[in-house]
Amino acid sequence: MSVYDFKNRILACENCTAPIKVPKAGGDIICSECGEVSAFGPQPKLKPLKFQKKKSIPEDQRIERLRAQDGKPLLAPEGLKGVIEDNEIPEWKLEEAKSVWLSLKKKVAEDNDFAAAESLFFLTFVFNNLYKDSEDAKRKRALNESALEAFSLPRHKQLMMCQLGGEAAKEGDVKSAKLWLKNCDPLADDIQADSYYRYAMALVATRNKNWSGVIKHLGSAYDEIPIMDAYDGVCVVLRANALEKQGNVEGAKEELMRYMNACGASGQSLVARIIDNYDFFDPCPQSFAQADEAYNKKAASSMGGMLGVGIMLMGSAGVMAAIGLVGIIAFAAKLSLPMFGQPSVDDIVGMVVMTGMAGLPFFFGLSMFMGAKKKQRLRLHGIRGRGKIISLKPTGTRINKVPQYELHIMVKADNIQPYEAKTKILIRAVEAGAFQPNQVVPLRIDPDKPQDVMVETA
């Protein structure tokens, strides 16, 4: 039986948030985990939601309304910053976060408090990301269904119904997914409610192998329909998968490339993680491999400029050293040089200095050349990972007036225990906001030397 079976009612314990199967009529139930009694009321009846109270606006106007809301990140409300860091719940704050969630749910259910409802939605969203393993599925459902019963505003209720419907579809319980989504408004003029609905319906269509249905809900191309940032990546993957399953592998590849080009290395890394997380339907088996390889080659070729500068510096240093050596040899052999004649003692002093100084640009150029080659190799063959910035400090070096920083990061990758490493990176002033402590950056890791990591910036 599916964890998200619509016929069941699973709510969170009022003391510890553990999942409890509750009769539709409610009642006092003892939690099997903490032993405390929770008093549950009867299950509220789900009613059809409607966002537009008056006559529906034309669809093109609704899309433009949604587009005006797009491009805004989902940020934690101020009141949650004590238990959330970088949109995640640190392990040592998990119990505190559960207590905060319970108090928010109570306030929403009793007072209909809007600020508390916004915080409850966001914290539930973060818990959904935390509970990823199959053994946590009941905990995730309990939090979502409890929040759904507490909410009164259409937007919040739709977000929770879509979350429950989407999870049911991921489990393969399409019948329950449709029942959870049945009362949602397909014409919501709020981008969160609309995006959640499109995503959930596209998952249902994917489970049914209804590829035209996926395209109907998500549009035929990236940016055709505005999708909130938090769901952009997964909707791109679902759309590309539908295109590929329709036989349009090239179109699917182009769709993935469009997103990667728009979002850079972080977009490429996100697509890879989504494909791993949604492996239950084998998304984009051909198109992702092609898009990933093409984007890696493009990113690696962009490092050709650094290779060229390194070669130029080494070449210039070689010319300087050669001129100096020729002069020294000519002086020692008492030979005359064309246009210069026989070098004097002063000339030789200058040539010796010039020869010695040639070492500086040579080794600087060699360092740039080797660094660029290493980055190319990691980009093409390195293991994908993520790095949480612990600290950063300037090295004092500047290249083309761009300062270099040393990043101290916590490295995380699949099937690898987290560990600390350091790497250097050029950071322009306009990019500084993306490289602050606690920020997460995409990495490539040397499979043979795990301490050799590279931050992907393109």
Say if domain 382-455 classifies as CATH 3.40.50: no
Cα–Cα distance for residue pair 414/439, rounded to 1 Å: 19
What's residue 346's pLDDT? 56
Domain boundaries, the chain: 10-296, 304-365, 382-455
3-state secondary structure of 92: helix
> Which H/E stretch holds residue 407?
strand 402-413
93-138 pLDDT, tens per residue? 999 999 999 999 999 999 989 999 999 999 999 999 888 877 799 9
H or E element: which one contains 403? Answer: strand 402-413
Output phi, psi for 111, to 5 deg: -110, -10
Low-confidence ranges of the chain (pLDDT < 50): 304, 307, 310, 339
Amino acid identity, position 237: V
Strands 383-399 and 440-445: antiparallel
Q: Note the pLDDT of residue 262.
A: 87
